[in-house]
Structures are given as C-alpha cells and as structure tokens.
A and B are shown apart, each in its own frame.
Chain A
Amino acid sequence: AMEREATDNRPEPGHSSERVDSYGFERPCDFDSYKEMMNQYVGVLNRRSMRWSRLLQQKPEVEKNLTVKRFVRKGVPSEHRAKIWMAASGAQQQMESKPGYYQSLLAMEHDTKLKETIHTDMHRTFPDNVFFQSHAEAGLQKVLHNVLLAYGHHNQAVGYCQGMNFIAGYLIIITKDEEKSFWLMDALLGRILPDYYSPAMLGLKTDLEVLGELVKAKAPAVGQLMAQYPGIWTLVVSRWFICLYIDILPIETVLRIWDCLFYEGSKVLFRVALTLILHHQTEILRARSLPDVCECFKQMTCGAFTMDCHAFMQKIFTEPGSLSMSTIQKLREKCRQQILEEESRRP
C-alpha cells in the first residue's frame, strides 16, 4: 500500500483524504502545487531511472567515483534509493557483518526512562502521515518505536534526542524495513554527521557557528546583520540541521539532499543552508528586528524555489560557489575550540 503512484492520485476538490502524496503525507494546502511539480518532474525521474538501471546492471556494486557522484547529485530514483543509501553509507556492510544484532537490541531488557521518552514523541511524529497515525492499519508507529529504542541502546551516549524521531520516520518510509532503517541511523549519527544529538549538542552548536562564518565570508552584509542578534543562528536554523531539513523543505527536495548526504557526507547541509540564505539576501537585509529575521528565515524555505527539487539541487552546487571539505573541517575545529573555551569560562 505504501507504493502509491503520485501520478495516479488525482485530487478531488472537497475530498481532503485524497490529497495524500506518495509517501503518505496529507497535503491539504499545497497538494496542487505538489502535483504540478511532480507532473513536470516525472520526466526527469523516468530518465534518471533508466540511467540508473543501466548503471547498476553494468556495475551492481555502488562505487565511489565521479560518475556515480554525478548520478547521485542528479537524484536517485525511489526504487533504488534504499539500496544506494545502504551501500554508499556503509550501512549495508555493517548490517551484513552483524547479523542478528538489531534483533538482540530489541530482545534485551530496556531502559524504562528511554522507553518513556521515545513513547512521548510517538503521536507527535508525522501526525499528518496516514501510515504514522495511531489508528493506521499496520501502522508504522510500532516500527518507529522499535528503531529508536534499538538505537538508544546501541548508542547509549546519545540515547534518544528529539529530532531523531523524524529522521527514523523518513528512513522507514523510504526503506520500508526496520533493520535497514536502524543501520542507516547508525551510519548517519555514527559516521556521517558530527555529534548533533549527544546531550551537549556540541556538534550542532559548532555547525551553527560554522554556518555563521561561511555566511560572513560569502555574504558579508547578511553576516553583519545577523551579528546584531547574538544567538540568532540557533533560533533560525537549528531545526534545519537537527532534522536534516525534514519539515523545513518539501519531502522530494529533502530526499534529494539525503541522496548526497549519504554519498558525499554532511557538507551538503551547508550547501543547502547557504543557497537558501544567499538566494534571499535582499529579503534578509530588509529585516529590521529579530522577529523580522525569524519570519524571513521561515518564509525562505517555502514556495516554488524549494518545491522544484531538481532545479534547487542544481542551485546548491552552483550558487554558494566552491566549498571544500577541508574548509569545513578547519572551521569546525576553530568553532569547536571557541565554544569549548567560552563554556569553560562560564561559571
């Protein structure tokens, strides 16, 4: 039932239950613009789908090379997405090397506090998705609960951090497989992302500062404006990073970003943020107060610019200009040190 063709899903005015996208999300407000985009995008999807099938026929192993990188940047078709994510991130290899491990995590005695914390977020994870609603038949809430509980015991330093519920949810929607979702969580939190979710959230704080530095360099006027409001990056973009753009950008766009995230690493998160900010410089510079800035950052993630995922993905590799991993690494080290020094000075 999950594999529903978006193109077959004709909206009937007045029947809100029909306004559901191919991932199960109800879209009462933007279904028509979503449909319109998908009708355009279907041509790209078909073309990419053929190319990918041919590539995977020739080379069933997903390699790290320029051709595959180019292919990933142009989008992984949904039928190959789980496989490519698993292979590119090393999750497949981990899963194969530890058979039965996931099940053993579920079978062990569980931390009551952790279980309760996860439980609290069950009805607050995608209540607008027909598969995650508590009354859904063969609903995914139980699967979601399992993946988060297993992960919390697997990585006890992190346990459960809010935001992980949305990430696990997307993984479940795409892989339709509990164990694969667990290993992709492991790849993301253990290898691809810095320590965003640990209790001190140091990796997240660092990346917010890194983004601030990049903005200062690439759009000095915006950097100057933001500097008037201490702590503002936390207010306007922490969710972008914690949720890896879930519920910030349209789902199709988020999945295209995740294609690159699994294949190329966390740098793409900065490309997306920078593109959004650079593209809306004029609007940001018009802001006269903190509420103005917050509103502007909310608005800039909506509309045609981010809905058209194919064009948006081309933009993120051109608009911010060059952005090397070594630049990011250096900035991360510098900002991390600054934060630690500042915190050690605090009483």
Chain B
Amino acid sequence: LAANRTYSFKVVLLGEGCVGKTSLVLRYCENKFNDKHITTLQASFLTKKLNITGKRVNLAIWDTAGQERFHALGPIYYRDSNGAVLVYDVTDEDSFQKVKNWVKELRKMLGNDICLCIVGNKIDLDKDRHVSVEDAESYAESVGAKHYHTSAKLNKGIEELFLDLCKRMMETAQAEERAKGNGASQSAATRRGVQIVDDEPQATPAGGCCSSG
C-alpha cells in the first residue's frame, strides 16, 4: 500500500538578499537562469513533482524576500515547512552569518522536525570565496544540517541538494508514521503539512483559473 502514496512536502528558501534564492528555485523547477532578475519582495512558490524509488513526491518550494524587515510580514512561509534551504553567497561572509541566525530561529520555532540544508551558492565565483569550505561544513554538522555547494548559474549541485532533502524528508515522515502507527488520524505529520494521501490524479492548477483576454 505504501508504494501507492504521494508525499507532499513544503520547503522554504531563506537567506540574505541577493544570495541567489530565486535563481536556485528557477533553475531547479524551470531550468532557467536569468542574470536580469529583480529584487524579490513577495513570497511565492513553485512546485516540482519527483519520483523517488517508486514513491511520488510533490514539492512546493517557497521563495522569500531576503531583507530582514519583510519577515515582519509573518512566519507563515516557514510555519508548516518540512524542510528549509538556508542559502548564503560563498563570496559574502555576512550572508553566512545570516544563515546562523536562521538556524537558531527555525530550531526555536520548529524544533528538530525540520530538515535543514545549508547551501553555499555562487561557486562559479569561487576565486572570490570569503567563506571557507571547512568552516561552513563543520558548522552545518554541528547544528544537524547538511551542507551543499551550488551554482544556479552553472546548474551545479542543485539536483543533488533537492533530491537529498526529499529523501531525508521522506525518512522523517516514515519515522513519524511508524511512531504514530499506521492509520492514526491526526498525526503530527499531517498537522505539520505532510500529507500522505492515497495516490489519485489531482485537479491540477496548470494554466491558472483566470483567462486573461
């Protein structure tokens, strides 16, 4: 029965302004890279469907504004997240410090249930690197996060990042399922947004609901 199920996970991208959050999502979901894109001001999400060892996974990846004051608009973006991708720019030491703040915030708000990834983006600019690989990796390990290096521009490391994250989120969900016993009506998992539903074709929102003429 378990093989016929679809996992729905919510993943949120967080990190300082201009580290490449939007570029990572666009590269992963639409395989696009645009040098000319504008400041992100309003959170939005893109979706991606995966098939991992025979199990279907629907990912909703939330992109957020980087400037700190926009967090005043509410924690709704990460409240029900199963995973968080904390992005920094390898050429910008400050952006790595911001990641550390995010780890504290998320652990405080969501405890250990959320799968954390720390991502050093822009490795195409490795010659200007200001965050050492050893520091970043040992920090990630110390807080129970996995560390990745990516380049949205060159499409490096991104598939691996999200695939790994999905596998970890599936393990967490399966562990929770086992702990609660199969058939438990309101598990912590469902409350947190992991919907493990019987696999049936869903009405897709493709094309939107408005016909603009």
Contact = CB atoms under 8 A, between A and B. Distances in A.
Contacts of B209: 283-284, 286-287, 292, 295-296, 299
A127 B210 contact: no
Minimum-distance CB pairs A-B, first 8: A303-B212, A127-B36, A299-B210, A231-B76, A295-B208, A239-B42, A283-B210, A124-B39
A234 B76 contact: yes
Contact of A128 (B36, B47, B65, B74): B36
A231 B78 CA distance: 12
A121 B39 contact: yes
A127 B41 contact: no
A161 interface: yes
Interface in B6-44: 17-18, 35-39, 41-44
Interface residues of A, number: 49
B208 A238 contact: no
A225 to B, nearest CB: 12
B41 A234 contact: no
Given A120-B17, A163-B41, A166-B39, 16 more contacts: A121-B39, A124-B18, A124-B37, A125-B38, A126-B38, A127-B35, A127-B36, A127-B37, A199-B68, A199-B69, A201-B73, A205-B72, A234-B76, A291-B47, A296-B208, A296-B209
20 contacts: A120-B17, A120-B18, A121-B18, A124-B38, A126-B38, A201-B72, A202-B72, A205-B72, A205-B73, A230-B76, A231-B74, A235-B42, A239-B41, A247-B38, A280-B210, A292-B209, A295-B208, A296-B208, A299-B209, A303-B213
Interface of B: 17-18, 35-39, 41-45, 47, 60, 65-70, 72-74, 76, 203, 205, 208-213
A163 B41 CA distance: 7
Contacts of A302: 212
A50 interface: no
Contact of A162 (B37, B39, B60): B39
A64 interface: no
A68 interface: no
Residue of B44, B69, B72, B76 with most partner-chain A CB within 10 A? B69
A289 interface: yes
Interface of A: 117, 120-121, 124-128, 161-163, 165-166, 197-202, 204-205, 230-231, 234-235, 238-239, 242-243, 247, 280, 283-284, 286-289, 291-292, 294-296, 298-300, 302-305
A292 B72 contact: no
Nearest to B202: A289
A117 B95 CA distance: 12
B210 A238 contact: no
A305 B213 CA distance: 8
Contacts of B65: 162
Contacts of A201: 69-70, 72-73
A91 B209 CA distance: 43
Contacts of A239: 41-42
Residue of B36, B66, B208 with most partner-chain A CB within 10 A? B208
Contacts of B211: 283
Contacts of B205: 288-289, 291-292, 295
Contacts of B47: 291
Contacts of A235: 42-44, 76
B45 to A, nearest CB: 7
Contacts of A303: 212-213
Contacts of A305: 212-213
A228 to B, nearest CB: 14
Contact of A288 (B69, B72, B74, B203): B203
A323 B43 CA distance: 29
A282 B60 CA distance: 26
Contacts of B210: 280, 283, 295-296, 299-300
Contacts of A117: 17, 67
Nearest to B76: A231
A46 B35 CA distance: 39
Contact of A200 (B41, B42, B66, B72): B72
A292 B72 CA distance: 25
Contacts of B36: 127-128
B67 A125 contact: no
Contacts of A165: 39
B67 A161 contact: yes
